[in-house]
Structure 1
Amino acid sequence: MERFLIGHFGIFDEDKQERDFREGFYGVEACMIDKEEDIDRLIKASHEENFNVCVHFPLRSGKWKFRDPQFMSNDMNNKKDSYEYVEEEITYICEKFDPHYILFHYPKPVILDPQVDWSNWRFADESEYVYDSEYTYDEFVCQTQELFKYLSTKAKELDFIPVLEFDALNKYVVENNILTELLDRYPSIRLCLDIARLHLQDIMDNNFDPYPIIEKYAKYAEVIHLSNGRLCDNRNNNHYPALPELKTSDGWADVRKYFRLINEYNKDYKVLFEHRSDKISDEQLENCYRWVEQLTNQY
């Protein structure tokens, strides 16, 4: 369990920390915290209880007009504002404490296949996506190269690991090798694979197969985001805990298969339980932890 993290979204919830965190866990991933005093309480707890704090960007909510920085926007004003926003926020973070990693959604805006029905994918607003018919491969390469160069420089300067979490995956990431080439060229930059996202895209997109994605990118993973989900109730039942009794025949992800494949390529990743633990009992939560511990150690 030394590779496990729990998440705090919006607030530092001390009741959740008491219930969900276990001695020996690696740490906490914090995201969109509303109040400065909650950030201070989280940092204080990390010192007292000796755990690491990681950031699911943004750490602070309400500091910008969009949910995520749109590094790769072809609107030059949005792009410029995004980089300035990130510069300010990561400077704040690294002056406040020493994050193990800072995670960003990638790419943003998300590049979508217009032939797929994305109505069940959760976007904050229309600014978060663009269709691939409006965004060329050359643009994608140029913008990604610029992002990698920037994050690599900031990682060295401020001593953190930049992590890119795949949002919906586009054909440029799936069919080409530019991303693996850049990950090899800039080894300080790592990835996050989200099992629930991969599963949902697998159901929604007939041309998408998540398992070759795991084979291609798992070795670059710093962290796995773990929850389960189904297309039929993704809007109101997302981030459901990954429990061993959930059946693929009922529409749930095959979590065993994902971990079995990830383990073939990577034995050092961390696991963030990105789930709504309030939806299950204490016994179910403990069973979840024990089961995932077994899955992560099966090579």
Structure 2
Amino acid sequence: MEAHDQTRAEAFERVERELAFMSLIQPTYVLFHYPKPVILDDRVDWNVWRFHDCRDYVWEQAYSEEGWAPIEDYLTIIRKENPHVKIMFEHRSDLVTDGQLERCYRWVEQLLSEPDESTSSNNSI
């Protein structure tokens, strides 16, 4: 577990350095890839989401942590810094249904339009 904690801490430190640099150069947009491995909820069927390489993910149960990555918290922080932020999703449209994608878009839109509160206990995807 300590190796995972160290890897995660190093990944967050790299992201913080990059975001600090981005605030200096003020780019039009930033393409952000979530650090791997991602933590996958083992109650969800991930077959269509393209996690083929086992180095790219860790099952939540095996990682001994509750919940998903705090995406809601991340979006809240991003929205506070830039209320006009645009979010771009990468996905394989042949593997995700229009309904799943629309639910994802509505969920993010709701998070970005909520008052400045974290909603990490209210995952809806």
TM-score, normalising length from structure 2? Answer: 0.52
Superposition map of 1:119-158 within 5 A = 121=51, 123=53, 126=55, 128-135=56-63, 139-141=66-68, 143-144=69-70, 147-157=71-81
Question: CA separation in 1, counterparts of 2:72 and 2:108?
Answer: 16
Cα drift, residue 99 of structure 1: 2.8
Correspondence for 1:105 among 34, 45, 55: 34
Superposition map of 1:1-299 within 5 A = 75-105=4-34, 108-111=37-40, 121=51, 123=53, 126=55, 128-135=56-63, 139-141=66-68, 143-144=69-70, 147-157=71-81, 161=85, 163=87, 192-194=89-91, 197-200=92-95, 210-219=97-106
Cα drift, residue 92 of structure 1: 1.0
Cα drift, residue 89 of structure 1: 0.4
Cα drift, residue 219 of structure 1: 3.3
**Unpaired runs of at least 5, structure 2:** 110-125
Cα drift, residue 94 of structure 1: 2.5
Question: CA separation in 1, counterparts of 2:98 and 2:59?
Answer: 24
Relative to its length, the structure with more strand (as a share) is 1
Question: CA separation in 2, counterparts of 1:162 and 1:107?
Answer: 22
Question: CA separation in 1, counterparts of 2:94 and 2:40?
Answer: 18
DSSP-derived class of the 1:139 partner: coil
Q: Do the aligned partners of 2:51 and 2:57 also contact (CA within 8 Å) in 1? A: no
Question: CA separation in 2, counterparts of 1:97 and 1:112?
Answer: 35
Larger Rg: 1
Identity of aligned residues (%): 16
Q: Could you tell me which amino acid in structure 1 is paired with residue 10 of structure 2? A: D
Match of 2:122?
Answer: none
Q: Do the aligned partners of 2:38 and 2:57 also contact (CA within 8 Å) in 1? A: yes
Q: Do the aligned partners of 1:93 and 1:99 also contact (CA within 8 Å) in 2? A: no
Question: CA separation in 2, counterparts of 1:155 and 1:219?
Answer: 16
Relative to 1, partners in 2 of residues 1:218 and 1:104: Cα closer, same or farther, differing over 3 Å? Answer: same
**Unpaired runs of at least 5, structure 1:** 1-73, 164-190, 203-209, 223-299
Q: Could you tell me which amino acid in structure 1 is paired with residue 76 of structure 2? A: S
Q: What is the aligned-residue RMSD (CA, Å)?
A: 4.2
**Greater RCO between the two (CA within 8 Å, min separation 6)?**
2
Q: Do the aligned partners of 1:111 and 1:135 also contact (CA within 8 Å) in 2? A: no
Question: CA separation in 1, counterparts of 2:83 and 2:24?
Answer: 11
Cα drift, residue 140 of structure 1: 2.0
Between Structure 1 and Structure 2, how many residues are aligned?
104
TM-score, normalising length from structure 1? Answer: 0.26
Question: CA separation in 1, counterparts of 2:78 and 2:7?
Answer: 20
